[in-house]
Structure 1
Amino acid sequence: MKAVVLAQPGTADSLVLTERPDPSPGPGEAVVRLHAAALNHRDLFLRSGATSQGFPPFVMGSDGAGVVEAVGPGVTSVRPGDPVVINPTLSCGTCPACLAGEHSLCDRFQILGGPSDGTLAEFVRVPAQNLYPKPQHLDFRQAAALPLALATAWRAVVSRGRLQPGETVLIHGIGGGVALYALQIAVAMGARAIVTSSSDDKLRRALEMGASAAIHYRREDVAARVKELTDGRGADLVVDSGGRLTLPISVEAVRRGGRIAYFGATTGAEGTLNFRALFWKQVALLGTTMSNQSEFAAALRFVGHVRLVPQVARVFPLAEAAQAFTLLERGEQFGKVVLAVAPA
């Protein structure tokens, strides 16, 4: 099979399109013939060597959708020919966290595409329990854009953030996959969403998608503007993936007794906070990552019920993976960067 392999950490030139043996399913496993895959910022971290999770060489990519090619012994949940979306999170299934349904807290928690082989390939082998029916209203390229970003947004907004209809949520950095799913989930739930960006075009498009207000963070004081928009109260929930530069703003912008769902460090992993504001306002600072199996299933049901359509920024052929990574690295896209593995 053709596959995009990370030969060694580095630039986009470190990605190599090569031939790999076709995988075969073992007990409890299935092989998926991929139609499309999608990129995440995690792929940039792995490629650059900024995380120790990957050990090259391996096939990159976490997100994917396709058709079941073959199943191993004991598999009854899917059959060859089934159109599926892949949940890329892997856990042991036997530890106390897994038995409690908290798979993302498993000590052996992993994600496809580093160190295990991922989805930037014609085929991928995964546990059959990680395969879910593709939402019928989506094509394969749209469905491939769902997994990691949707799972992260769902856990941040719904499971951890517990956003309620009528509440106000502040979403930093609109334009990336997780932020856009957070916006779409919030709007569909009947919440009020305030978004930020340094791009007028991204802010305009977010308003067209249902955001109640948009803040250009280079021209406006985000926390002050949020308070103005909420009659001095502040946001009920803040969805923050920025870290060093955004978390202090989140603490200032959230209401007394509010929640901050925090899951990233794109502006830096270390910084300072106003601890007095954190405890005096009784803010709940909620660390969060990817969702559990039950949450992933719930998120997909939600997608089908509200007929949510992912924002696909651009589609590249698999052979142009390096160009796709370069686009993602520039951060100019609005939505997910997708790779077409099979013809549409």
Structure 2
Amino acid sequence: MTEERAMEAALRPKALSDFVGQQTVRRQLSLVLESSRIRGTASDHVLLSGPPGLGKTTLAMIIAAEMNAPLRISSGPAIQHAGDLAAILSSLTEGEVLFVDEIHRMSRPAEELLYMAMEDFRVDVIVGKGAGATSIPLELPPFTLVGATTRAGLLPGPLRDRFGFTGQLEFYSTEELELVLRRSSAMLEMNVASEGFAEIAGRSRGTPRIANRLLRRVRDWALVHRVDQVDRATAAEALEMYEVDERGLDRLDRSVLEALCLRFNGGPVGLSTLAVLVGEETETVETVAEPYLVREGLLARTPRGRVATDQAWRHLGLTPPDRHPDSLSG
């Protein structure tokens, strides 16, 4: 796992010019950072939202590098008390970038402390308890907060409004993922044909993190089987062994579809029942498998439960049953 994390970190681009995709966010963020450099001040606070694996952490690292500032990394779940956040904020240096991943999972007291810190660069530290408690104002050096969230709708309005720039990251196209893979393969010293890149990119679910992970698995397969150049057939054979099919579905995705189609004739089925059938936690099915299946048009959410679409039946090599069109509404 340590080697995997080190490899993933090495594949991250270090400059905004090397970052592939997200053209709109890149242009807007470049303007914000350049303006801050010209003014000689810390950048406005930045909120990055979007599904996992699209580059939010990488962009936070790039922001710190572009501003030639140190980077402090934390996460929402780790900040459950106002005192935890006060300790972090009070130790920041001028211009430092504080990156908080999954910022929507911070506790409410910590959020309220963050409001004043972001706007006035000041926090009030409470000393003591009860009637004897006193508030001590603590001035903070100007800093840049970079927040990342996969669920922007869960952020309170007052917190969201204090970010000077908000970037919404979108899923990557196959062509953009091929560019990511070309850069990564050069760093991994892999010999990959153009059709090999296309095959891996097409199974990567529009996500660079998944694309790089699959590339490393293909590299392992090629090394073991002594394949000098990875072409389409090699990439396909390697990924089939890792149970990633031509549409990017993995074992969990197919288990969900098979449970719907083979056990319940396509549904509708409640989420908790579906999770029991595939042997996973409800949250895992809802957050890992379901978003991609819905986006690919293989699964539909209805008021009565989850339903497999006709595409799902055909993807599994099955004949869709005759049913009323309203069963797929919602």
From the two aligned structures, give the one with the greater strand fraction.
1
Select the structure with the greater relative contact order (CA < 8 A; seq sep ≥ 6). Answer: 1
Greater Rg over alpha carbons, structure? 2
From the two aligned structures, give the one with the greater helix fraction.
2
